[in-house]
Chain A
Amino acid sequence: LAKTTQPISMDSYEGQEVNITCSHNNIATNDYITWYQQFPSQGPRFIIQGYKTKVTNEVASLFIPADRKSSTLSLPRVSLSDTAVYYCLVGAPRNFGNEKLTFGTGTRLTIIP
């Protein structure tokens, strides 16, 4: 399983764009990159998933360079409600028999008013 490394914590002001970068140097060819958000005493919530280049949905964008050894989650114009722990995970789809996910430390994002 590919190991991930993220900053332990980040602070940002409301209204700013926040970029959280994750390193996954030993990512395998079949691995996807998935980001989750977790609030205290709740289960993680799926944010976005990608394989390469750029993926965008209604809440975030995910940038993946060509070598796929890192990825960046971008949250546009954050608000106080975005204060949470963000996890970057790498794993392969079920068809490749490696659908387990290993959670790293995550990044504790604090939004300042």
Chain B
Amino acid sequence: GAVVSQHPSWVICKSGTSVKIECRSLDFQATTMFWYRQFPKQSLMLMATSNEGSKATYEQGVEKDKFLINHASLTLSTLTVTSAHPEDSSFYICSALGTGYTDTQYFGPGTRLTVL
């Protein structure tokens, strides 16, 4: 139980294009999901908290107009990187807060974004 998926697992795009990453909780409903970013050899950095049916809460320093988050259902949150640039290349990981479990965050497998 408590499986979280992400799609795509990797994506390569040209600078200036937008990329959408999906995060799904497969066997549980998640009113709250989180989006993280991880650069090589570094720890995970929280970007935003996504709540179903409401606007996402962004961490300080994260541009909300650049990283659009939509949590339209209890099992799906999406992160759109708009007008991507090479410095946005990173490993993006989502997590979902379990319900009926001990409030544990369950993480997706991550999405590797490379912007050329």
Contact = CB atoms under 8 A, between A and B. Distances in A.
Interface in B1-60: 2, 4, 6, 32, 34, 36, 43-46, 49
Contact of A42 (B43, B95, B109): B109
Nearest to A102: B46
Summarize A's interface: helix, strand, loop or mixed: loop
A100 B34 contact: yes
B107 A103 contact: no
Interface residues of B, number: 26
A70 interface: no
A95 B45 CA distance: 23
Nearest to B43: A103
B43 A43 contact: no
Summarize B's interface: helix, strand, loop or mixed: strand
A interface, how many residues as a size bin? 20 to 34
Contact of A100 (B4, B49, B109): B49
A46 B106 contact: yes
A36 B112 CA distance: 20
B46 A87 contact: no
B109 to A, nearest CB: 5
Interface in A36-75: 36, 41-46, 49
A101 interface: yes
A43 B49 CA distance: 17
B93 interface: yes
Given A32-B102, A99-B97, A103-B45, 20 more contacts: A34-B104, A41-B91, A42-B109, A43-B94, A44-B44, A45-B107, A46-B2, A46-B104, A46-B106, A49-B104, A87-B44, A93-B102, A99-B103, A99-B105, A100-B34, A100-B49, A101-B46, A102-B46, A103-B36, A103-B44
Interface of B: 2, 4, 6, 32, 34, 36, 43-46, 49, 91, 93-95, 97, 102-110, 112
